[in-house]
Amino acid sequence: MPGVATTPLARGKTELAPRWRLDAKDYVAAMDITRDGRWCAIATGSGEVLVVDVDTGAVRSRAMAHPQGALEVAFARDGATFITCGQDASAKLFATSGALLRELPGGSAWVEHAAWSPSGDRLATASGRRVRFWTPAGEPVVETEPLPSTVTAIAWDRKGTQLAAICYGGVYILGATVAAKTRHLAWKGSLISLAWSPDGKVIACGSQDNSVHFWRLATGEDSEMRGYPFKPRALEWDGQSSLLATAGDAAVCVWDFAGKGPEGSTPIQLEGHKAVCTRLAFSPRKGVLASGAQDTSVLLWEPRRGTKPIRYAFLEDEITALRWHPEHRGLLGGDAAGNVVYWNIS
């Protein structure tokens, strides 16, 4: 298998079967799938956003959202609208038909991040050092005071009442109301990736100094995982908040947070890629982890059951996006050359 280390495959050693393929014409910057699994949205480096039928691969709509390049796309809870952001001074709300519904101003800086709350009643965007909260219709709710430096990632808690924003200097936990107080988890360094555990108990961040730092929110206690050759830009929790997958090398390190947690323990090492792993995605329904790398390979793992990949697939360039179907029916992948594939999972 080109691009995959010569490691014997375990059970189910089969290549994933593509259901459909699509040429998005440019770098795949981000993807999302509606909660009912009907539509997927694909944002590209050219600034175009495509809405595609997940079952057939038919393109429903194309919209030029951000001419200088799109950075993020995310569906609302009901799947009827989606938010985009990119290298201009506004985020944009679209209908799945491709109709522009509203522009959400971001100030003078790019709008680099956008995320819907799990409950669907709030929307957050980040540009420069500020975070802004909106109603689902795009009406402004509150704007934060400037953080110490540029926001590098945002993530909601499971209840959708708090938002974590990271930058140089730590994590800031923000409320989506004017009266909400901000909690600061200090870290003397630049944080570049963020994952809030589904149970709301732990926030993990990749750091510019090639480490993963995490905080237990009940106590504020923090710990650190070192030894990564490269910056850990991909972090992913499983649905039970017991496993944290991290990528800062070709190997994927999975830390076990069950019981007393990972301190003093050895992580599960998943070795199969030949180049740095760039994307991670746990299936929402089963303990299956998908990883994609610079070597064009996509591998599936069951970390609790073994350290060998169980399925594999390839695109044509560095893997830049991975998304699971919400019911584990398939896996959506995109690469730096604009190739998008939806693989059947059976």
Segment 173-191 mean pLDDT: 92
- 187: buried, middle or exposed (CB in 10 Å: 19+, 13-18, 0-12)? buried
Q: Could you please report the per-residue DSSP string of 124-146?
A: EEEETTEEEEE-TTS-EEEEPPP
Q: Which CATH class is domain 14-344?
A: mainly beta
Cα–Cα distance between 27 and 68 in angstroms, integer?
13
What does the block give as tokens for 73?
Answer: 């796309």
Instruction: Decide if pLDDT at 10 tops 90.
Output: no
Predicted confidence at residue 191, as pLDDT, reads 97
What does the block give as tokens for 99?
Answer: 């109709």
- 301: buried, middle or exposed (CB in 10 Å: 19+, 13-18, 0-12)? buried
Task: Name the phi and psi angles at 282, rounded to 5.
Answer: -85, 140
- Given pLDDT bands bounded at 50, 70 and 90, which one contains residue 265? confident
Lowest average pLDDT, out of 14-18, 85-89, 217-221, 284-288, goes to 284-288
Predicted confidence at residue 13, as pLDDT, reads 60
Give the residue carrying structure tokens 């194309």: 62
Predicted confidence at residue 286, as pLDDT, reads 80
Dihedral, CA atoms, 270, 276, 281, 287, nearest 10 degrees?
0
Report the DSSP beta bridge partners of residue 172: 165, 184
What does the block give as tokens for 334?
Answer: 């995109």
pLDDT mean across residues, the chain = 94
What does the block give as tokens for 41?
Answer: 């949205």
Cα–Cα distance between 30 and 75 in angstroms, integer?
12
Cα–Cα distance between 104 and 113 in angstroms, integer?
12
pLDDT tens per residue across span 41-78: 999 999 999 999 999 999 999 999 999 999 999 999 99
